[in-house]
Amino acid sequence: PEAFASIQEAVRLEPNHPKVLDELIEISLGHGKKDFASDAINKIKSTNPDNSKISEWESRLAEL
């Protein structure tokens, strides 16, 4: 999908940007891409550990 390719390019350009990682996680979870979602969640945990969405994302990841 085009959205996934676009967000991968954004991550390549700004690998630790919280908004880019947020979008990568959402798109990855929406497309069932567990590995990408898991990696991005781990990255956001190290760059922005206070992000309020982390527990929600982990729950959604566990359901995939």
Please report the DSSP string for 10-45 in residue order. HHHHSTT-HHHHHHHHHHHHHTT-HHHHHHHHHHHH
Q: What pTM was computed for the model?
A: 0.91
Q: How confident is the model at residue 4 (pLDDT cuts 50, 70, 90)?
A: confident
Tens-digit pLDDT profile for residues 6-36: 999 999 999 999 999 999 999 999 999 999 9
